[in-house]
Structure 1
Amino acid sequence: MIDAPTPAPNIMALVTESWSVRADKVVMRYTDPEDQWIDVTGGQARAHVDAVAKGLIARGIGLGDTVGIMCRTRFEWTVLDFAIWSAGAIPVPVYDTSSASQIDWITSDANITTLFVETDAHAELARTVASDPESPLTAIEVIDRGAIDSLMAEGAGVSDAELESRRSAATSDDLATIIYTSGTTGRPKGVRLTHGNYTVHIAGIHEELRDVLFEDGASTVMFLTLAHSLARLVEVALVAAGTVMGFCPDSSKLVAYMGTFKPTLIVAVPRVFEKVYTSAEQKAAAGGKVKIFRWAARQAIDYSKALDSPQGPSTMLTLRHRLAHALVLKKIMAVLGGNSHWAISGSAPLGERLGHFYRGLGLVVLEGYGLTENNAASHVNRPERSKIGTVGRPLPGIEVKIADDGEILLRGPSLFSQYHRNPEATAASFHDGWFMTGDIGIEDEDGYLTITGRKKEIIVTAGGKNVAPAMLEDRLRAYPLISQCVVVGDGKPFIAALVTLDTEALPRWLKAKGLPELTTAEAAADPTVREHIDKAVERANRAVSRAESIRKYEVVLEDFTIANGYLTPSLKVVRSRVLADYQERIENLYATTKP
């Protein structure tokens, strides 16, 4: 075991110390055009970042300047991120899926003059923004066009002494980055996070997750978008810990990359864990083995639940679990590389069913909770004691209070202090020094937190019943045929839902049921498909009272995706947009027949 680092004066002090200790050891890996892994040692990473940072200095990037990065999750993203910090500047992430208007807002609000983009298509969007005389954007650098190599060449004349002066200039109180929220409820707000917000937070994370991050050979495939606060925190924490990080910019290659990289740690959002489960189930169904798959899944879940009981798993359950592992479960683990024992899940609720299923496989999912405003993580389950269904206990330094209405309030050194150029939003987010998360939750006697809903999303029916939609939505999304679900019913006589079909899973599902190929529209009207959705709704309803249950639903033919703006890049439904765009269809659910 390597001792976890203590808080450093700034982010790059953490990073360079880690790379110095591991100068001859692999710290990162990326793939060539043939998808072969290329190793990067700590010394090579340091030299690469230093050369790019010198190029930024040569370009005139000054202390405290903001520099944008619009790119998929790849090696160059992290190099630029650390190089901008090394030059004493402030990196600002921009989602690679952003529209021209979103680029315009972020670059204008953060006063970004230089924007690094990945592709020519990104550059075209950025140029439409830069063409506005009021835009601060003056330089657009294309990574795929050799922008990083150009920087390295231009910085050859910058001295090591000047670079070190820049790198060590930032203190814990200085601004490190501005991360813009996903904007599910309006225009994205810029969250200002300092170097101290990161270094203190990461020291606490390292202390609490030592067994995960500091074990020999610890590694992970980074595929979450680095523009998101969770991935950004993980990026710095992993590099500082020495956990080997491989980059997967193309999600369609994730399974293949897992197979060749064989990570010990998986960092993902719940949707990824759901897709692995449903894909395995559908593959089993296509091969006529769905019954044995479901039997094996039950053994995994039952075995995991028994681990939490005083008596533990019975002898018969243990034997059934071993058989299930040999027949089915080990194959699912192989999809994840076959070497993972830990996973971290955040951004949305995972759910007890999936938590127990994966622990039954041998993969302990440490579910956590956080917002961009609290630097992506305020709570996480610990390796030594994980309570499935909760998001764990607070991380070091985090204080928690549950308000009278159930809202989770936080304060501590990892929390932001203000939104960028938005004092009104800042004032509205704090009360007596406590940050109001907007989430509803309960704490148990051990301090483990359970998230029960989002305050702004609470539905109040015409009968006065308060309904948290997340519980129903999570359960419906778990069904292989359903992609997304939005529960509605505010001010209405009963709860209803809009659901979309999983177009990737649909062909396999139809084949497994002995049905012909159908379009999404045909499937939505097919009696057998509707019968199975009815059953999925019935199962979801068992978790709530009758007053909270879904009485009617409508299948929406267009899925909710990032591309059409109904999902954020972190795969959260933009509820406000769905409710606005489908208002007429929602009204029709209540205007036609009785439930």
Structure 2
Amino acid sequence: MSHFIDTIRTTMRERAGAVAIVQLGGRASPERVVTYGTLAEECNALAAALASHCTPGATVGLVAANSVAWIEADLALLLGGHVEVPVPLAFSAEQAAHLLASCSVVLTDDAGQRRFEQWRAAAPQAFQAVPCFSIGQLIDGGGVVPALAVDTATDRVCKVIHTSGTTSSPKGVRIRAHGLDALLASLWRHATREDYARYLNLVPFSLLIEQVTALYLPFMAGGTVVLPPVGEAPLGDPGALAADKLALLQRACPTAVTLPPSLVEALAGAADRWPDLGTEALCEALFGRATPPLIAAGGAPVAAATIARLAQRGIVVLQGYGLSENSSVVSWNTRAANRIGSVGKPLPHVACKLGPDGELAIRSASLFAGYSGSDPSACHTDAEGWLWTGDLAEIDADGYITIIGRKKNLIITAHGRNVSPEPAEASYRSVAGVADIVLLGEGQETLSAFVLTAAGADPVALRHELERHGERWLSGVERASTFVFEADAPALRASLFTVTGRPRRPDVERHVRARVAATNMPHQL
């Protein structure tokens, strides 16, 4: 297969009249349709205009919402041979300044410009020296230019992707163009062009997995990327709730989606509300089409029981595992080989092994080119080229991988029992009314749970449901004996969870301790 950039360039040329992007209409704006021909013209115009502001290969920041402008900038930077640094709008000024420090210029759309100005007001010295340009204005001033011809035969760092760390300075993962090539070639061995005929975007484009699945796979297939209406926050941004995306799934009629665990749970809950519908009618109700889309899930564990419930209704969820250091996907269940409860087998270009303590190591053609910056959570690569992921796993005789949890998140109780919190949290998360849950209990006799409650949930009734669930599905050491409830809210999530939805466990523990102390609640912390 040719380089993915060359493939996308060929698609834009040969399918000029086909629809590349649809941004659904909403209260703020009408529907917008962009053809491949228009996409090519605007990407080339942007790259040409950008050339007057920075040298070839320069590092360029991208601060934008999930928009047509974000996609145009991403492709223009790839086609122009630059190093792209996408920055989540949910980042604080300190986090954004850390990632943008090496950038020659910053590109923004309207939402990105507003966020950039907020960061600059909060930390003027950190941002005053970084030139900032509007993507739309650069495109309008770029004129008609010939197609760009970046050298794809030579490997290079094409992106620096943020990944959550343990400090306020997120480490940047340096992504190689040929690494993305190797990854995409492996993914195409388990998918068809028809799968990616119509992809619905639901999470921030700043996440590498969404760039791969929402942009490069559909554009390589000549498919259509469907964007939510202008102003609708993606999952992971403050204010975005999984249940609110169900109507969007039905409206968009996607052939493929990648779902975070929260939306898989919401999907299962919606299916449960129509117990008498057959598969075809259920798919019409959920996805606006008679057959289910290709549904991939990742980012955190999904309860096996939830995936099994959907499978019984004819809706298959293919859980996978990845990390930015491998250009995203490491392993994936497929239609031909799907073992519920696992994260699938390694992709064809990936080798995996376990260390003596169960830590998963990987070696592949898509490994990153190192970090920009450092963090205690950084992965280690040994002299033989094995990347030690920090994740505890099991690999069965057939090669299926099961992720047990993060090595550094392991809870050791007062009785010396080791508990990986992630699988139990995934199980508890399947209980109706639980928006999220974090287990705590280092050095304690039993575990405690911090529970974010969904709208309308009654904490008293929910406590009983969680206790019953734990007794039925979890071992004694995994069950929480104490529950601390708090209503889910965007500000709370922003302070206690990363942009990718993972809990900042030390921050959660401090928050719970303070709350317990202020209310004299019984606790085990």
| TM-score when normalising by structure 2 | 0.88
> Where does 1:114-513 land on structure 2 (aligned, <5 Å)?
114-119=106-111, 120-128=113-121, 131-132=124-125, 135=127, 137-141=129-133, 147-156=134-143, 159-160=145-146, 164=148, 167-169=149-151, 171-183=153-165, 187-210=169-192, 214-215=193-194, 218-234=197-213, 235-248=215-228, 250-251=232-233, 254-278=245-269, 284=273, 296=275, 324-326=276-278, 330-331=281-282, 333-338=284-289, 339-422=291-374, 428-430=380-382, 432-503=384-455, 506=456
Q: 1:280 to 1:395 in 2, by over 3 A?
A: closer
Return the index of the structure with the highest Cα Rg. 1
Q: In the alignment, which residue of structure 1 is the partner of 2:236?
A: none
User: Quick one: which amino acid aligns to residue 201 of structure 1?
Assistant: L
Q: Shift of residue 49 of structure 1?
A: 1.2
Q: 1:93-144 CA distances to partner (integer Å, 9 max, x unpaired)?
A: 1001122111111111x33432425325313224337731x65743223xxx
CA contact (8 A) 1:114 1:140 kept: yes
Q: Distance in 2 between matches of 1:363 and 1:276?
A: 10
Amino acid corresponding to residue 582 of structure 1 in structure 2: V
Shift of 1:580: 2.8
Q: 2:63 aligned to 64, 70, 75, which one?
A: 70
Amino acid at match of 2:39: A
> Is the deviation greater in 416-425 or in 183-192?
416-425
**Which structure 2 residue ranges, 5 or more long, are not aligned?**
234-239
Q: Which amino acid aligns with 1:42?
A: Y
Per the TM alignment, residue 426 of structure 1 is displaced from its structure 2 partner at its CA by 6.3
Cα 1:545–1:588 change in 2 (3 A) is: farther
Contact kept, 8 Å, 1:452 with 1:470, in 2: the verdict is yes
Cα gap change, 1:101/1:26 in structure 2, threshold over 3 Å: closer, same or farther? same
Match of 2:19 among 17, 26, 35: 26
Distance apart, 1:342 and its partner CA: 1.8
Structure 1 residues 112 and 478: alpha-carbon distance in aligned structure 2, compared to 1, 3 A threshold: farther
- Size of the aligned set, in residue pairs, is 510
* Cα distance, 1:531–1:39 mapped onto 2, change above 3 Å: closer
Q: Tell me the equivalent position of 2:473.
A: 543
Give the aligned residue type for 1:232: Q
Structure 1 329/180 Cα, relative in aligned 2: closer, same or farther at 3 Å?
same
Tell me the secondary structure at the aligned position of residue 301 of structure 2: coil
Identical columns (%): 24
* Cα deviation digits, residues 377-412 of structure 1 (max 9, x gap): 010111222111111111121010011111110011
In the TM superposition, residue 543 of structure 1 has moved relative to its aligned partner by 3.0
Supply the distance in 1 between the matched residues of 2:474 and 2:377 (Cα, whole angstroms). 35
Q: Which region of structure 1 is more displaced relative to structure 2, 167-176 or 266-275? A: 167-176
Q: Is the 8 A contact 1:19 1:42 kept in 2?
A: yes
Q: 1:53, CA displacement in angstroms?
A: 1.4
Q: Which region of structure 1 is more displaced relative to structure 2, 456-465 or 181-190? A: 181-190
Write the deviation string for residues 166-198 of structure 1: whole angstroms up to 9, x where unpaired.
Answer: x42354421110001123565311000011011
| Deviations 1:420-468 (CA, angstroms, capped at 9, x unpaired) | 1449976845464211111111111111111111111111101110111
Instruction: Indicate if the aligned counterparts of 2:331 and 2:346 stay in contact, CA closer than 8 A.
Output: yes
Change (3 A) 1:450 1:71: same
Q: Residues 479-506 of structure 1: CA distance to partner in whole angstroms, max 9, x if unpaired?
A: 1212121111111111221112112xx1
Structure with greater helix percent: 1
Residue aligning to 2:54 = 61
CA offsets per residue over residues 153-177 of structure 1, 9 Å max, x none? 32227x52xx63xx42354421110
Shift of 1:217: 7.5
Q: Shift in Å at residue 226 of structure 1?
A: 0.2
8 Å contact kept, 1:197–1:415: yes
Q: Which residue of 1 aligns with 2:95?
A: 102
Unaligned runs of 5+ in 1: 1-5, 142-146, 285-292, 297-323, 510-522, 525-529
